Amino acid sequence: MKLDFFKLVKREIRIMLKNFSIIYSFSTFFVIASLIFVFSVNDISYVKIFYKSIVWIVLIFSIMLVSENFLNEDFNDGSLKELQFLGFSEESIMVSKSIAMWVMIMIPMLFLIPLVFVFFQITLYELISLVINLFLATPSLTLISILSSLFSVQLKRNKIIQFVIILPFFVPMIIFTTSTETLFESYNLKENQFLILIGIFFITLPVCLMAGRLIMREINK
Amino acid sequence: MIFKLANPLRFQRLIEKIEPITLNIAITLLLVGLFFCFFGSPPDYLQGETVRIMYIHVPCAWFSLMIYSIIALCSIFSIVFKHTLADLISRSCAPIGACFTLATLLTGSIWGKPTWGTWWVWDARLTSELVLLIIYLGLIIINNAYEDKSKADRYSSILAIIGIINLPIIKWSVDWWSTLHQPASISKFSSPSIDPSMLLPLFIMTFSFFFFFISILLVRVRGEIIQRKIEVIRFNRMV
């Protein structure tokens, strides 16, 4: 079963590599959308203040747009049902998809972050802090977006519902990722600033897996 | 007893008997409560007359949480026992809960302007209450998004269960973070920090809102049962 799970992850990564355009379009969208913010302000000092918020908003929207592709194809060609029929648990399917998405989309995105360093004229310390932030928070983000696409997989129209349903669950993430430093500085816990993000992941993981399992069962009824 | 009443048709008959009584109690308590709010309770020594907004704001806030708890409970019941009545109740509760949450935010804003000097602050309590409103809206949208109602009920149940996380955050946000919103002053029954002359109208208004909620809920549940009956009849005609 352990081997089977790795096979499943391998399958997801292979599919991702075949659909390389998804990674490309995600990266392009991320860079262009970040640039739009820079173009929209006259004074670059404003961007320097809000760079974290900008990066996170762009990231959330781009990841939600991409996550749709992860499940729609599997649902439409019947692979999702087939995987369950083969005996893979709903949790393992969801985890494998999340791992593939994190490895193939989130990790390459971290290499794009130095561009932000140039565009937003932030310091090296801020850049490192941002990268660690993204590295620790993106697993939760990936799980939530996979869940959101599960919610909307059977909706033929009005995909905007996906955003409306799931956006409230990004609120704590946004709050803690964009204000971790200031928040923990005020409590004199600066060295523990990233632990909250790991904490959020350990709350998100079981909740998303449980909800994902229930939705997948409902989808295949 | 519960399972006997869980039959939608039996429940509909019960609603027809209970609903006028609860509505009458709600209206009577509301009139008595409003009299006490405006004439039977003194103005606050610091806030003045604006304190009277509390008699609407606090019950609305309590019910926004209570209604979500009912939805969550019904959702768990629906997923475990797959019972139609639990789906009907949670579906009917969502718009009522959204209205109570909106009323909480609006009355809070009206109170906040003269007291805090602003309509809105990004306070932990206010933000988490706003998130609750968005979750309610999400539930309403899901309930109407799918053509298959049983599927919509199942999806909204799952979303409602995920949203439970927000309830303790709202309740204890004032204790966990340093907020502008004051901590609980009424739930501390051992030493309530509110004068009895203000506590009485507040409780009357709370009971009034409770009966109002019950009567609106019963009307909505009856409407849902009738709507589902119509759908069954239409389906049978098509077949």
Contact A164 B145 (CB under 8 A): no
Q: Of chain A residues 151-170, which have a CB less than 8 A from chain B? A: 151, 154-155, 158, 161, 164-169
Residue A110 touches chain B, beta carbons under 8 Å: no
CB-nearest to A214 from B131, B146, B158 is B158
By CA distance, what is A206's nearest residue in B? Answer: B162
Asked if residue B143 has pLDDT above 80, the reply is: yes
Residue B88 and residue B6 in contact, taking contact as beta carbons nearer than 8 Å? no
- Tens-place pLDDT, residues B34-91: 888 888 777 777 777 788 888 899 999 999 999 999 999 999 988 888 888 888 899 9
| Positive/negative CA dihedral, B135, A208, A138, B164 | positive
B159 contact partners, CB below 8 Å, separation of at least 6: A151, A165, A211, B135, B138, B139, B142
What is the predicted ipTM?
0.73
Tokens representing B150 are 């049983």
Tell me which chain B residues have a C-beta less than 8 angstroms from the C-beta of A175.
127
The predicted structure's pLDDT at residue A180: 59
Of B213, B210, B225, the residue nearest B96 (C-alpha): B213
User: Nearest CA of chain B to the CA of A213: how many Å?
Assistant: 10
Output b/e per residue, B199-210; b: 16+ Cβ within 10 A: eebbbbbbbbbb
The predicted structure's pLDDT at residue A218: 81
User: Nearest CA of chain B to the CA of A165: how many Å?
Assistant: 5
For chain B, list residues whose CB is within 8 angstroms of any CB belonging to chain A. 79, 127, 131, 134-135, 137-138, 141-142, 145-146, 151, 154-155, 158-159, 161-163, 165-166, 169
The predicted structure's pLDDT at residue B212: 93
Contact B158 A211 (CB under 8 A): yes
A74: containing domain: 2-219
Query: How many residue pairs bridge chain A and chain B with CB atoms within 8 Å of each other?
Result: 48
Contact A155 B146 (CB under 8 A): yes
By CA distance, what is B136's nearest residue in A? Answer: A165
Tell me which chain B residues have a C-beta less than 8 angstroms from the C-beta of A168.
131, 134-135, 138, 163, 166
pLDDT values of chain A reduced to their tens digit, one per residue, 221 residues: 555 888 888 888 888 888 788 888 888 888 888 888 878 877 777 777 778 888 888 888 888 878 777 777 788 888 888 888 888 888 888 899 889 888 888 888 888 888 777 777 778 877 887 888 888 888 988 898 888 888 877 776 666 777 777 778 788 778 777 765 565 555 555 556 677 788 888 988 998 898 888 888 888 77
By CA distance, what is A144's nearest residue in B? Answer: B162
Contact B155 A151 (CB under 8 A): yes
Tell me which chain A residues have a C-beta less than 8 angstroms from the C-beta of B162.
169, 207, 211
In Å, what is the CA distance from B230 to each residue of A219, B8, B140, B222?
26, 14, 21, 12
Asked if residue B238 has pLDDT above 70, the reply is: yes
The predicted structure's pLDDT at residue B61: 92
Tokens representing A23 are 């990674």
Contact A214 B165 (CB under 8 A): no
Which secondary-structure segment (H or E) carries A135? helix A124-152
Contact A168 B135 (CB under 8 A): yes
The predicted structure's pLDDT at residue A113: 81
CA distance B156 to B161: 9
Quick one: pLDDT band at residue B100, thresholds 50, 70, 90?
A: very high
Number of compact structural domains in chain A: 1
Residue A112 and residue A30 in contact, taking contact as beta carbons nearer than 8 Å? yes
